Chain A
Amino acid sequence: MKKYNITATVNGDELDYSCYADQTLLEVLRENLQMTGTKNGCGSGDCGACTVIVNKRPVNACLILGVELEGAIIETVEGLAEGSTLHPLQQKFLDHAALQCGICTPGFLTMSKALLERNPDPTETEVRYALAGNLCRCTGYDKIVRAVLDAAAEMRANAS
């Protein structure tokens, strides 16, 4: 089976990978690039654990093919922090105890980042609907929603 050579930017680094035509971005990230921060919960776009940001849009990495990404700019959970300084969302997830097992956390963080870039001042309802494609079975969402609202407030304060 033929492989395709792709060049894309992942978390600011230009990377090359070769993949089969039917390989998803999730497989490329986890298997080819050994970036296991992006999680596989279902493989069918239903749980959001593999959410990454491609060209500024949040996508389920399990629903997009590696071969589609020539020249794409991809952001994953591994690119959120700057060195050892956590992104405000990461810090607020810790401050609010917004994770228990943590398997859904990378997807919630990337989805929330995409939300706040689009809408820096969301209401609770807007946060809940923006995160409705991300499943969490541990927290009941309460502390996640609070963490995102608090991060949004801090990011707005920092921006002004």
Chain B
Amino acid sequence: MNEITNRDKNNFKWVGKNTQRPDGPDKVTGRARYGDDMIVPGMLHGKTLRSPHAHAKIISIDTSEAEALSGVKAVVTYKDIPDHPLLAPPYGPMITDFHDISRNIMARDKVFYDGHPVAAVAATSERIAKAALSLIRVEYEILPHVLDPFEAAGADAPILHDYQYTLGSDPKSSKPSNVFRVASSERGDLSKGFAEAEIIVEREFRSQPVHQGYIEPQALVATAAADGSVDLWTTTQGHFVIRGYCARLLNMDMSSIRVTASEIGGGFGGKNNLYSEPVAIRLSQKTGRPVRFVMTRSEVFRATGPASGTYSHLRIGAKKDGTIVAAEATIYNQAGAFKGSPVGRSVDTFFSAYSIKNAKATAYDVCVNRPKVAAYRAPGAPMAALGAELAINELAAKLAIDPIEIRLKNAVQDHEQSLSGVKFGRIGLNEVLVKAREHPHYSAALAENQGRGFALGYWMHGGGLSSVNANLLDDGTVTIATGNPDIGGSRSSMRVMAAEELGVDISLIKTIIADTASIGYSHLTAGSRTTFATGLAVINSVREIIDKLRQLAATKWDVPVENVAWEAGQAVCHHGDFQALSLKQLASLAPKVGGAIAGHSEINATGAGAAFSAHIVDVEVDKETGFTTPKRYTIIQDAGRAISPDYVEGQMQGAAVQGIGWALNEEYIYDHNGCLQNAGFLDYRMPVASDVPMIDTVIVEVPNPNHPYGVRGVGEPPLVPAPAAVANAVENAIGKRMGVLPLSPPKILQALK
């Protein structure tokens, strides 16, 4: 890798400037093609039959009537999806178990949630496909179900998987349990710490599962060819991951599946996973025709996402001067039908923004009769932050210390470690807290029935595998191909970094997202990793082009390449009288000399920085109706370096409003049979424009030393403290402790009684 230098911000030509995104015109004119916008000649329409029960044994499935319907070309069930053995330990923090995936995409012997796929049909029209679903006869034996993670962890709960024994429990479990594992991190001596404490705050919290709420439903077209190869068009945060999962699940060669990522209409972690893709591939193989699947919004709610609902319990002990001496947290994360809730991230989030000598965090991964959870923007973190931040605010209030002062007093410092052992480098926490304290919002007057909340969020960003191809064309323009779907403007950031490196105008650079056959492996657009990791690969690729251009100039000038520098978009030699050669001149020369010039980079990026986000929010509570209105919202966050400030602000603003929804009104409502009652946007009420104020942002820049421009990542940190900040504001508005999200009007009225 090239030398890493944190350049002086003032010398940047493009980095830190707002430029218009290259994909913008297509997206404002309706030309951009999303998952559902692909029309392939001869394509069939796929539809999925889903379980109407929360938990049931499948006795029989009879598809004969459906298959006989005119226009129906194929029907598939679990018999068409290969089974896979249970993944054996040891398990990493993220678990990918094809035993579970094969059962989640198509129920095998049992259904585990309302909406669990049971069969699928491909027909000549959507209308016929729907009619066919009603002709499939499934006989179920209904079993008792459980929805709440704390209840599901209890001894008397209905058991989802009779093969699952709890890992990491003490004593070792002797019978099947819904708890897959207990993850824990600890340091110091808790009992000694609490013995030293002069004040102890103890609280419990519950949060509801919430859906990622992307506006574009899952949609795809699979085309299986007679030679065994498959083309897949799908809306996803990671087409390489989809390729790998489909190949493994269907026992195919990875190279025989080519996945193209469509434009993606939102994901927030919810489009990291496999749903209808392998089913569509099977139907296409059976029929010899392309097969399209588009989920309805109801299917999206019933069978995809959400983030874990949680129960947590915390105890925090401090000295009278505000020094936190002991902290303990336990959280039950609902995993949904199959193991794999973000327990590691919950454990890491509770206390990692603070330097606490004696601390322990424990997280239970609990299966319940709900859809398998998916990542949602800082998975596992907002629910942990809810507990820790509200408990610390209560501590501050009881000690009559300002909430920011108590955090400054206990803030984790450069080169310390997170509770789960992540070593911090240079971090911007102090800078963020000081900026928050100085912000006029923090000391502004409040009106009657208003309250102010404050919370701090921590997130450790991801790095990982990214690949980039950069091609210099002979007219001096450059194409940059990455393997990362652009979910919120990453093509713009890639272009900015490439232009900065080359020293040329951004209009000369075109960015595309390449399909899986055209570029090396690239991990998900997730974990706020793209601008950092894929950005590094862009920089490397462009630097390779620059090196080749310097060589070309050296050959032309007959000087050693060391004497040729690249300055402001041209090759120069200060060792003699040479006329500088521009990118355009060199580009036209290249084909005549040595051939086309390209750069590429395949990396496993490390050194992504941790980031901190502080939120100040004012709400007004109508004490007659219990309705809460956010009145003012300010986010102060360390972005490391904002490559495209507009889009950094946009990430922060969007996360704040997701947090408002999480705190105030989003929840799943299940009936007594465990069936989802609000599987639509009308009743699953996400915030709308009239619910929220403008969201003010302060971008703090403490550059990450491991990136040439100092990038840390920005997408996830701003969601982490948002529900806590809003809940804290409500608490302060009504003068009551509120620990159960969402803080909907009935709960507030109850609290005010």
Contact = CB atoms under 8 A, between A and B. Distances in A.
Contacts of A93: 24, 28
B217 A100 contact: no
Contact of A36 (B23, B30, B655, B694): B30
A78 B29 contact: yes
Given A39-B216, A137-B215, A145-B689, A102 B681 contact: no
A124 to B, nearest CB: 8
Main secondary structure of the interface of A (DSSP, over half): loop
A24 to B, nearest CB: 12
Interface in A22-54: 30, 34-44, 46-47, 49
A41 B34 CA distance: 12
Contact of B266 (A35, A38, A86, A138): A138
Given A42-B680, A99-B24, A36 B214 contact: no
B653 A140 contact: yes
A4 interface: no
Contacts of A140: 650, 653-658, 692, 695
Interface string B146-185: 0000000000000000000000000000000000000000
Contacts of B658: 137, 140
B32 interface: yes
Given A90-B29, A99-B27, A100-B489, A41 B215 contact: yes
Given A97-B646, A128-B689, A145-B689, A137 B653 contact: no
Interface in B436-477: none
B593 interface: no
A91 to B, nearest CB: 8
A97 B647 contact: yes
B297 A44 contact: yes
A36 B37 contact: yes
Given A46-B682, A99-B27, A140-B657, A132 B650 contact: no
A34 B28 CA distance: 17
Nearest to B27: A102
A132 B688 CA distance: 5
Given A44-B680, A109-B28, A135-B681, A144 B215 contact: no
Interface string B22-59: 01110111111110110100000000000000000000
Nearest to B656: A140
A2 B691 CA distance: 44
Listed residue (A76, A101, A109, A131) with the most chain B CB atoms within 10 angstroms of its CB: A101
B320 interface: no
Interface residues of A, number: 58
Nearest to B697: A142
Listed residue (B27, B266, B294) with the most chain A CB atoms within 10 angstroms of its CB: B27
A97 B650 contact: yes
B619 to A, nearest CB: 16
Listed residue (B37, B681, B688) with the most chain A CB atoms within 10 angstroms of its CB: B688
Contacts of A128: 689-690
A123 interface: no
B749 to A, nearest CB: 24
B217 A135 contact: no
Contacts of A105: 27-28
Interface string B636-659: 000000000011011101111110
A79 to B, nearest CB: 9
A129 B690 contact: yes
Interface in A74-95: 76-78, 80-81, 86, 90, 93-95
B264 A42 contact: no
B48 to A, nearest CB: 16
Contacts of A138: 266, 488, 650, 654
A51 to B, nearest CB: 12
A127 interface: yes
Contacts of A132: 688-691
A94 B492 CA distance: 12
Given A47-B681, A140-B653, A101 B690 contact: no
A94 B488 CA distance: 13
A97 B692 contact: no
Contacts of A43: 296-297
A35 to B, nearest CB: 8
A109 B25 CA distance: 13
A103 B294 CA distance: 15
A152 interface: no
B18 interface: yes
Contacts of A77: 28-30
Contacts of A76: 30
A42 B301 CA distance: 11
Interface string A125-156: 10111011111111111111110000000000
B654 A103 contact: no
A42 B679 CA distance: 10
Interface of A: 20, 30, 34-44, 46-47, 49, 76-78, 80-81, 86, 90, 93-97, 99-106, 109, 124-125, 127-129, 131-146
- Please give me the 3 A-B residue pairs with the lowest Cβ-Cβ distance, nearest first: A37-B30, A103-B265, A102-B27
5 contacts: A94-B25, A102-B28, A106-B30, A138-B266, A142-B695
